């Protein structure tokens, strides 16, 4: 078997300064022998180790990564390692899902007195990395191999898994793309306009964010109404696809003062998240929930609508509806796609995601529409240091899409706006949903359901699972 060159592997070890570094030091002073492939990078605490560091290390083509810190309860900043444990648990699942061989990624607790344990951990990690076939690790280069000195881009090359997933989506849409009972669209629009006018005339809000008809048939666009005379622009119909809550954090909208906003049930979940993250004040928002039986784009029902289990907004001031909603398809094509990927080999998964991300043109439409991408300066726009290359490149695309997905862990409410607007149809919906399922399984948490429950990566339990830690 073609295993890694024993003398030529590199393993980056991110260690906390207090316990694991001291443990490594103690192994050295005790003259314990251990594998020399390790390169130690010191951090104040494992709580400071962002998964982006791990991604960057893989991007620079280290063959393995070890993260090590103080044992639970011994962290010199009290709880840094508890938070880190949750973060790494989710990150590890994400990396496994995209097809990283987990023999390359390890976590351990090593105290200052455990020099012998440090030597054992390093030997174990390096022997696992060396046992991986296929030679040196390559991050995001599968589709850009060098061929006779020329860069050959494998454009439009679809993996088998990719074709299966495409067929799966098409079969679901074909099966369930039935007409929706929207005979009452006009009634709902009239109710909406009446309410909007009342709110503006009585100065209960200064502006209303809603939908208006576009110049194109079967399409609506967002609109901000500040004048009661303009409320007739507002419409509600089956083409109101956008999640309008992404506007709530924009400085221009915030300047307007109290805002009314039209939300579907799925979109209302983002308002819960934005309040939890202190991005909006509940008292500054008037939420107009509206009956939604599923929305269409290009005459196709959106995948998320097939599995929508809660068609009444979770948070609202007023609810505009015609009758109790009966439709509950509850078929989840995204979950089926996740199963398909999980049942594939790691090589198939890795190739599938390589191919998906290789199409990314870095237009950042996914970032623009996401209600939770509100940072003034996104990490990908920072130059000192530059964590992610900002332009379209195989390595940068891979890193950007993983970091984006990870930053939404425990926050994404599954509106799937990112995958809807993606011009190259990257399956961000699958990635987001996979993390959401993992969060639910590990921490019994669902984003956008309750304001009172803390998001899982902002808290910890002393008895959180740690089977993956050496
Ligand atoms: Fe070692 Fe926090 S100081 S993990």
Element (H, E) at 60: none
- For residue 8, what pLDDT is reported? 82
- For residue 84, what pLDDT is reported? 94
**Cβ of residue 19 lying under 6 Å from some atom of ligand 1:** yes
DSSP annotation string for 105-156: EEEEE--TT-HHHHHHHHHHHHHHHHT-BSSS--SS-TTS-EETTEE---TT
Helical pair 80-98 and 346-358, crossing angle rounded to 10 deg: 90
Counting atoms of ligand 1 from 1, which one is nearest the CA of 81?
A: 4
Ligand 1 geometric centre to CA of 377 (Å): 29
Spatial neighbors of 354 by CB under 8 A, at least 6 apart, are 140, 142, 143, 394, 398
Find how far residue 289's CA is from the centre of its chain.
25
Ligand 1 geometric centre to CA of 48 (Å): 9
Out of 70, 108, 109, 111, mutate this one to test ligand 1's pocket (max ligand atoms within 8 Å of CB): namely: 70
β-pair type (38-43, 11-16): parallel
> Are the CB atoms for 390 and 381 separated by under 8 Å?
yes
Using alpha carbons, list the distances in angstroms from residue 70 to 88, 253, 273.
15, 45, 32
Spatial neighbors of 123 by CB under 8 A, at least 6 apart, are 34, 35
- For residue 152, what pLDDT is reported? 46
Domains, the chain, ranges and CATH?
3-130 (3.40.50), 146-172+335-458 (no CATH), 185-320 (no CATH)
> Are the CB atoms for 159 and 355 separated by under 8 Å?
yes
**Cβ of residue 80 lying under 6 Å from some atom of ligand 1:** yes
Residue 21 tokens read as 């570094």
β-pair type (318-320, 285-290): parallel
**Cβ of residue 95 lying under 6 Å from some atom of ligand 1:** no
Residue 461 tokens read as 């339990």
Ligand 1 geometric centre to CA of 75 (Å): 4
Angle ∠(426,428,432) on CA atoms, nearest 5: 170
Rounded Cα distance between 433 and 425, Å, is 16
Rounded Cα distance between 191 and 353, Å, is 45
> Are the CB atoms for 165 and 86 separated by under 8 Å?
no
Rounded Cα distance between 415 and 423, Å, is 17
- For residue 20, what pLDDT is reported? 93
Rounded Cα distance between 355 and 334, Å, is 18
Residue 43 tokens read as 């951090």
Provide φ and ψ at 73, rounded to 5°.
95, -15
Counting atoms of ligand 1 from 1, which one is nearest the CA of 84?
A: 4
Q: What is the pLDDT along the chain (470 residues), one digit of tens a residue?
A: 345 555 688 999 999 999 999 999 999 999 998 988 999 999 999 999 999 999 999 988 899 999 999 999 899 999 999 999 999 999 999 999 999 999 999 999 999 999 999 999 999 999 999 988 866 777 765 444 444 444 444 445 678 899 999 999 888 877 777 655 555 667 889 999 999 999 999 999 999 999 998 877 788 999 999 999 999 999 998 889 999 999 999 999 999 999 999 999 999 999 999 999 999 999 999 999 998 888 888 888 888 888 787 778 889 999 998 766 555 566 788 999 999 999 999 989 999 998 899 889 999 999 999 999 999 888 888 888 888 888 888 888 988 999 999 999 999 999 999 999 999 999 999 999 999 999 999 999 999 998 988 899 999 989 888 888 89
* 3-state class (DSSP) for residue 270: helix
Residue 120 tokens read as 């054992």
**Cβ of residue 108 lying under 6 Å from some atom of ligand 1:** no
- For residue 99, what pLDDT is reported? 92
* 3-state class (DSSP) for residue 243: coil
Task: Give per-residue burial for 50-81: e unless 16+ CB within 10 Å, then b.
Answer: bbbbbbbbbbeebbbbbbbbbebeebeeeebb
Using alpha carbons, list the distances in angstroms from residue 429 to 240, 332, 417, 432.
19, 12, 8, 5
């Amino acid at each position: 078997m073609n295993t890694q060159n024993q003398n030529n592997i590199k393993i980056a070890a991110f260690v906390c300064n207090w316990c694991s570094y001291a443990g490594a030091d103690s192994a050295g002073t005790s003259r314990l022998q251990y594998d020399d492939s390790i390169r130690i990078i010191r951090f104040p605490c494992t709580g400071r180790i962002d998964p982006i560091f791990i991604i960057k290390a893989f991007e620079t083509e280290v063959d393995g990564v070890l993260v090590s810190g103080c044992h639970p309860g011994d962290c010199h900043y009290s709880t840094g390692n508890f938070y880190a444990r949750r973060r790494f648990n989710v990150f590890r699942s994400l990396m496994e899902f995209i097809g990283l061989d987990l023999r390359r990624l390890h976590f351990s607790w090593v105290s200052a007195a455990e020099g012998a344990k440090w030597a054992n951990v390093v030997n174990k990690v390096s022997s696992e990395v060396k046992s991986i076939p296929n030679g040196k690790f390559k991050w995001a280069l599968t589709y850009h191999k060098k061929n006779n000195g020329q860069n050959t881009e494998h454009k439009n090359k679809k993996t088998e898994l990719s074709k299966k997933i495409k067929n799966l989506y098409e079969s679901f849409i074909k099966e369930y793309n039935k007409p929706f009972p929207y005979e009452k669209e006009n009634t709902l629009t009239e109710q909406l306009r009446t309410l909007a006018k009342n709110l503006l005339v009585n100065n209960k809000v200064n502006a209303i964010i809603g939908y208006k008809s576009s110049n194109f048939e079967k399409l609506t666009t967002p609109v901000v109404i500040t004048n009661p005379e303009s409320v007739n622009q507002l419409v509600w119909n089956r083409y109101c696809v956008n999640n309008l809550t992404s506007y709530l954090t924009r400085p221009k909208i915030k300047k307007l003062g109290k805002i009314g906003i039209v939300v579907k049930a799925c979109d209302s979940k983002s308002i819960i998240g934005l309040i939890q993250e202190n991005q909006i004040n509940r008292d500054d928002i008037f939420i107009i929930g509206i009956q939604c039986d599923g929305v269409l784009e290009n005459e196709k029902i959106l995948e998320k609508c097939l599995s929508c289990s809660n068609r009444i907004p979770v948070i609202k001031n007023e609810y505009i509806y015609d009758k109790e909603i009966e439709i509950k398809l509850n078929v989840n094509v995204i979950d089926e796609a996740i199963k398909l990927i999980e049942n594939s080999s790691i090589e198939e998964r890795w190739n599938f995601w390589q191919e998906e991300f290789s199409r990314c043109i870095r237009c950042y439409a996914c970032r623009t529409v996401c209600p939770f991408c509100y940072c003034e300066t996104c990490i990908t726009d920072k130059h000192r240091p530059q964590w992610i290359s900002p332009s379209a490149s195989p390595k940068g695309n891979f890193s950007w899409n993983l970091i984006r997905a990870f930053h939404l862990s425990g926050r994404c409410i599954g509106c799937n706006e990112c995958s809807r607007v993606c011009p190259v149809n990257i399956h961000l919906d699958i990635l987001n949903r996979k993390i959401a399922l993992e969060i639910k399984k590990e921490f019994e948490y669902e984003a956008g359901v309750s304001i009172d429950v803390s998001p899982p990566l902002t808290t910890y339990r002393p008895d959180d699972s740690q089977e993956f830690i050496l």
